[in-house]
Amino acid sequence: MAFLQHTLSNGLRIIGEYIPHYRSVSVGLWVESGSQYETPKENGISHFIEHMLFKGTEKRTARDIAEEMDAVGGQLNAFTSKECTCFYAKVVDEHLPLAMDVISDLVLHSKLDEEDIAREKGVVIEEINMAEDSPEDLAFELLMLAHYGDQPVSRPILGTVETVSAFTQADIRDYMKRMYCPERSVLALAGNFKWESVIEQAEKLYGEWEKSGVQKPETGTVAVPPTKLTRQKDIEQTHICLGFPSAKIGSKDIYPLALMNSVYGGAMSSRLFQTIREERGMAYTVYSYPNSYTDTGMLAVYAGTSPEHANEVVKLILQETENLKVNGLNEKEFVQARDQLLASFILGLESTSSRMNSIGRRLLIQGDTRTDDEVVEKIKSITLDEVNEVTKRVLSAPFSVAIVGNGADEVEI
């Protein structure tokens, strides 16, 4: 079934998937604001704003926001990625008007009080410190820097202690004026709702939201020579990351890459997991996963192991990579990976939250309004030859490396 769609006069796009047999509904406001679009001095401001918008509005205190949603058993949250920020709620269908009102109130009428800003800086800095204490997160951030150099895509979503500490109320208001605008936002819904009522309320809530008149910043991610970065850290394990250039969002390679990844390191039955963990017992965590953005993509590999096993684990990763590159997937692996991807996608459709997430993100980032059935048919149409062609091309490319831990400089790769 096609999605319901409407665009307000100010450019705000509204998309809905009506599911009459559900009693829940999920709604999210998606804004094209993320670390990809920040200047070096602004790094982390998208995420910081996400925090600040829960600190009170002109008519609701932070406590009011929490109590109103709790009173109806609703869920209210938000997240920031490199390319978007989403404020979302899940409620019983009769409470959708409240959820829509609260979300619009957060985004359009937050007070951004200076005392709250000062207090929240401490919270976000602790979040940054927590990420610093997670070697896996640290290794991935280092890999992004090794793979892309100093470009917007490689900057951390959280920002740094230095940038966050320097944010002012004026900085926040200026950034929101440029980036929080209806023409680069999407209101997405999935579940049980009355479409006419949704449009009527959206007109009231967002109709006066003014366009920014500012063009979206160009990210312009460019390829850089592959590099190796290491960071000595006094911890028990050595954390190893590899990054291969791969498919960007919207590429025809996205689904073949997902199938390949399932066989490579994306599942418990994958080659990396079976070889390194199950057969050798050299790692508890080992996996691969694709990262796709609007103008670039990277297939990342991660393994955490003891320093004495680090070189052997690297050797095994490279052996499995070479084997997959040269010989490709076999028919059994291909069928299993395709069925696994289909099942994962279909099972995700059981939740209104995941359905809202899917249609909102796709429309905002890609302008894509394909239905779930069309996605399923696309996955079913993939051939083994397509997957193996993508596999060979991706795994033949020069790769970047990041290593964190004791003896990081001594790992040979």
Pairing of strands 285-292, 85-92: unpaired
Tell me the H-state helices in 180-231.
Answer: 195-206
The set of long-range contacts for 391-394, using a CB threshold of 8 Å and a minimum separation of 24, is 391/256, 391/260, 391/264, 391/324, 391/325, 391/328, 391/329, 392/325, 392/326, 392/328, 394/244, 394/245, 394/246, 394/247, 394/253, 394/257, 394/260, 394/299
Dump pLDDT digits (tens) for 98-136: 999 999 999 999 999 999 999 999 999 999 999 999 999
Instruction: Please check whether residue 187 is in contact with residue 27, taking contact to mean a CB–CB distance below 8 angstroms.
Output: yes
User: 3-state DSSP call for residue 209?
Assistant: coil
* CATH, domain range 228-410: 3.30.830.10
Looking at the predicted structure, is the pLDDT value of residue 29 above 90?
Answer: yes
Identify the CATH assignment for 4-206 out of 3.30.830.10, 1.10.10.10, 1.50.10.10, 3.10.200.10. Answer: 3.30.830.10
Residue 224's pLDDT is what?
87
In the Cβ-directed half-sphere of 107, how many Cα atoms lie within 13 Å? Answer: 31
pLDDT of residue 305: 97
Question: Which DSSP string corresponds to 226-264?
Answer: --EEEE---SSSEEEEEEEE-PPTT-TTHHHHHHHHHHH
In this prediction, residue 335 has a pLDDT band, given cuts at 50, 70 and 90, of: very high
**How do residues 222-257 score in pLDDT, each as one tens digit?**
888 989 999 999 999 999 999 999 999 999 999 999
Per-residue model confidence as pLDDT tens digits over 271-311 = 999 999 999 999 999 999 999 999 999 999 999 999 999 99
Same fold? 4-206, 228-410: yes
Which amino acid would we find at residue 26?
S
> Would the pLDDT of 1 be above 70?
no
Give yes or no for residue 159 having a pLDDT over 90: yes
Q: Which of 38, 50, 183, 333 is catalytic?
A: 50
Q: Which two tokens stand for residue 60?
A: 């609701």
Q: 182, 32 in Cβ contact below 8 A?
A: no
Amino acid at position 304, single letter: G
CB atoms within 10 A of CB 66: 13
∠ Cα 150 219 37 (to 5°)? 90
Q: Is the pLDDT of residue 221 over 90?
A: no
Percentage of residues of the chain with pLDDT beyond 90: 92
**C-alpha to C-alpha distance for 384 and 338, rounded to whole angstroms:** 10
Inter-helix orientation angle 96-109/195-206, to 10°:
20
**162 tagged catalytic:** no
At which residue do the structure tokens 């899940």 appear? 90
By the 10 Å C-beta count (0-12 exposed, 13-18 middle, 19+ buried), 86 is classed as buried
Ranking 179-193, 209-223, 391-405 by mean pLDDT, the lowest is 209-223
Count Cβ atoms within 10 A of the Cβ of residue 47 and give its class: 0-12 exposed, 13-18 middle, 19 or more buried. Answer: buried
DSSP letter (8 states) at residue 2: P
Give residue limits of the domains in the chain.
4-206, 228-410
